[in-house]
Amino acid sequence: MLKAGKALKVSIYVSEGSKHHGVPVYSSILDFLFYRGVSGATVLKGVAGFGADHHMHSAGIVEISDHMPLKIEFIETPEKVNEILGKLEELAGTGMIDVQETTIAKPAQVSKPKQAIPPEHLRMEGKAKMMRIYIGESDRWKGKPLYQALVEAMRANDIAGVTVYRGILGYGAHRRVHKDTALHLSRDCSIMLSAVDSEEKLRALLPLVDQMVEEGLVVFSDVDIIKYSYRAQDVRLPELRANMPL
């Protein structure tokens, strides 16, 4: 593992289409660095450039060139770099290798795997409100489907959860029947959004819903919440219950 202090930064410049024994050069170099214990390496792809042949290469939208410049970069101790430099020169072929002195201010840390904690089965109960919003599938708000906008609005306002249901048969205030058939998919089927949270939070959302829903139906119902879930054993139940929207 690298330590803070002096080190060498190695940059290897090759072409994306270059091969070494039938394998892309950048892939061969990356494998070599990995299995020689180099601390880390990154492959960067250019979008335009030219090399020793002085031919300009660029990546277009229609055709992606396989001759784009690539840079493989890594930082290691001088001892490690001197040990592997000869093989890197062989792998790079006609490419260029640049070695620069650098200083590691903060070395990367290896993340420690979290210890698995067996889950605990919890059962939570309480009172809440359910808000149902009935709209048409073709309804829109500011250029996007209204049901999608409503879900985004509820999420932004910290509503505990919402589910969108698409009707397969129904009619509304205009008494027109909308249905899905095997040969025809209606684009104006009924949509129902069902959200559950505290009455206070749902009522606070109503002014926004009024602005967004030009034609639809909003209903409230009392619900009893019985929730079964799994939580890690170190979760503090009083704090968990205090944060429940019930």
- Over residues 152-171, the mean pLDDT reads 87
Domain ranges of the chain: 5-104, 119-242
**What is the pLDDT confidence band of residue 235, given thresholds at 50, 70 and 90?**
very low
Quickly state the pLDDT bin for 91 (edges 50, 70, 90): very high
For residues 66-95, give the mean pLDDT: 91
Distance CA 27, CA 20 (A): 9
Confidence of residue 175 (pLDDT cuts 50, 70, 90): low
Instruction: Indicate the helix (H) or strand (E) that contains 242.
Output: helix 237-242
Q: Taking 80 as the threshold, does the pLDDT of residue 141 lie above it?
A: yes
Mind listing the pLDDT tens digit for each residue in 63-74? Answer: 445 567 899 999
CA distance 85 to 78: 10
Q: Phi/psi class of residue 47: alpha, beta or left (left: φ > 0; alpha: ψ in -120 to 50)?
A: alpha
pLDDT bracket for residue 245 (50, 70, 90): very low
Specify the pLDDT at position 181.
53
Architecture, CATH, for domain 119-242 = 2-Layer Sandwich (3.30)
CA–CA separation, 195 vs 204, rounded Å?
A: 13
Q: Cα separations (Å) of 106 from 1, 3, 103, 152?
A: 12, 8, 9, 40
Task: Tell which residue, 70, 74, 77, has the closest CA to residue 93.
Answer: 70
Instruction: State how far the Cα of 51 lies from the Cα of 15, in Å rounded to an integer.
Output: 9
* pLDDT for the residue 6: 93
pLDDT at residue 239 greater than cutoff 50: no
Residue 76 has pLDDT above 90, yes or no: yes
Query: What number of H helices and E strands is found in the chain?
Result: 5, 16
Contacts of residue 190, Cβ cutoff 8 Å, sequence gap at least 6: 134, 135, 136, 137, 166, 167, 170, 172, 178
Looking at residue 45, its pLDDT comes to 86
15 neighbors 69 (Cβ within 8 angstroms) = yes
Domain 5-104 coded CATH 3.30.420.110: no
What count of other Cβ atoms lies within 10 Å of the Cβ of residue 29?
A: 23
How would residue 217 be classed by pLDDT, with cut points 50, 70 and 90?
very high
pLDDT at 16: 84
Q: What is the dihedral of CA 78, 81, 83, 89, to 10 degrees?
A: -140
What is the pTM (predicted TM-score) of this model?
Answer: 0.47
**Phi, psi angle pair for 84, to nearest 5°:** -110, 0
**Averaged confidence pLDDT in the chain:** 81
| pLDDT > 70? residue 84 | yes
- 13-27, 73-87, 229-243: the lowest-pLDDT one: 229-243
CA angle 224, 165, 194 (to 5 degrees): 30
Q: What is the mean pLDDT of residues 183-193?
A: 68
State the Cα–Cα distance between residues 246 and 242, nearest whole angstrom: 9
